[in-house]
């Protein structure tokens, strides 16, 4: 007499679990049922088995920051070139209590003088030319950096560095010339800075920040940010039959 291998009145090997058959060609699979066996199980939730999103590129974020700094600094430098840099007044007597004798107003594009009992004279200056050219180049470089096109062009990174350095150099040069006017403040002469001086000061600080970020981004090695390798989609596994 054969000893039964599973519980129940019937001897012999246990019957294998039923496996669903694939639908015939031309026929669509039946709709999934909640709790049904594979392949009729419910679809995985959103995000299940999907490759992780690639991390943000630090180089691209640095380029966008440099572009924003360049554009803002260029606009301030161009606007500051048309505003008053400094104003010098010579007083008759001690300090500002005396009567003004003459007055000088310095701008990046002009230098005007006025005397008591005389007429004002104005001389054209060309300090605004490098400010204008540096600002336009900085705007062009900033647009390339902000839109991410600087990495696609052969000279894109070099243009970003050149625009930042040129903007920094032109603003510092004009600021130095305006600051040198204070060395003559003696004997009743006083010099005060105008709005153009402060606009160029902020523009130079922004240009300095853009210079640092563009140089550091250009010195990063190419392999510092490897591209992530997405993993394949995971497929749902059929439920295992319980062991007797």
The residue ranges of every structural domain in the chain are: 59-219
Average pLDDT, stretch 216-224? 60
In tens, the pLDDT along 109-161 reads 999 998 877 788 999 999 999 999 999 999 999 999 988 887 788 787 888 89
Angle between helices 195-218 and 156-180 (to 10 degrees): 150
In tens, the pLDDT along 54-81 reads 455 666 788 889 999 999 999 999 999 9
Average pLDDT over the chain, rounded to an integer: 78
Q: Nearest 5°: phi and psi at 143?
A: -65, -40
Cα gap 189→102, rounded to integer Å: 9
In tens, the pLDDT along 14-45 reads 666 666 565 555 555 555 555 555 555 555 55
What DSSP element (H or E) covers 100?
Answer: strand 99-107
Cα gap 82→42, rounded to integer Å: 69
Decide: 151 and 139 in contact? Cβ < 8 Å: no
- CA count, 13 A, side-chain hemisphere, 7: 2
Task: With a cut of 50, say whether residue 225 has pLDDT above it.
Answer: no
CATH fold, domain 59-219, is: Butyryl-CoA Dehydrogenase, subunit A; domain 3 (1.20.140)
pLDDT of residue 188: 84
199-211 CB burial, b ≥16 within 10 A, e <16 = bbbebbebbbbbb
pLDDT of residue 100: 85
Cα gap 25→12, rounded to integer Å: 37
Cα gap 67→80, rounded to integer Å: 20
Angle between helices 128-147 and 195-218 (to 10 degrees): 40
Residue 238 tokens read as 């059929």
pLDDT of residue 229: 47
217 falls in which pLDDT band (50, 70, 90)?
A: confident
Whole-structure pTM value: 0.65
In the chain, the percentage of residues whose pLDDT exceeds 90 is: 41
Residue in 89, 124, 126, 127 with CA at minimum distance from that of residue 105: 89
């Amino acid at each position: 007499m054969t000893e039964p291998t599973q519980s129940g009145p019937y001897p012999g090997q246990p019957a294998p679990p039923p496996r669903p058959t694939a639908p015939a060609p031309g026929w669509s699979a039946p709709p999934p049922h909640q709790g049904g066996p594979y392949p009729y199980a419910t679809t995985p939730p959103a995000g299940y088995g999907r490759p992780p999103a690639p991390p943000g590129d630090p180089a691209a974020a640095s380029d966008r920051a440099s572009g924003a700094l360049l554009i803002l600094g260029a606009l301030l430098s161009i606007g500051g070139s048309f505003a008053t840099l400094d104003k010098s007044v010579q007083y008759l007597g001690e300090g500002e209590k005396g009567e003004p004798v003459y007055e000088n107003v310095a701008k990046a594009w002009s230098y005007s003088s006025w005397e008591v009992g005389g007429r004002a004279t104005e001389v054209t200056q060309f300090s605004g030319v490098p400010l204008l050219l540096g600002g336009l180049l900085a705007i062009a470089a900033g647009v390339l950096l902000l839109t991410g096109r600087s990495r696609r062009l052969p000279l894109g990174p070099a243009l970003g560095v050149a625009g930042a350095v040129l903007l920094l150099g032109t603003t510092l040069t004009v600021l130095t010339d305006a600051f040198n006017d204070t060395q003559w403040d003696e004997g009743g002469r006083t010099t005060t800075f105008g709005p153009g001086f402060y606009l160029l000061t902020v523009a130079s600080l922004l240009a300095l920040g853009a210079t640092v970020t563009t140089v550091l981004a250009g010195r990063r090695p190419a392999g510092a940010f490897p591209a992530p390798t997405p993993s394949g989609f995971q497929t749902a596994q059929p439920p295992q039959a319980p062991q007797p």
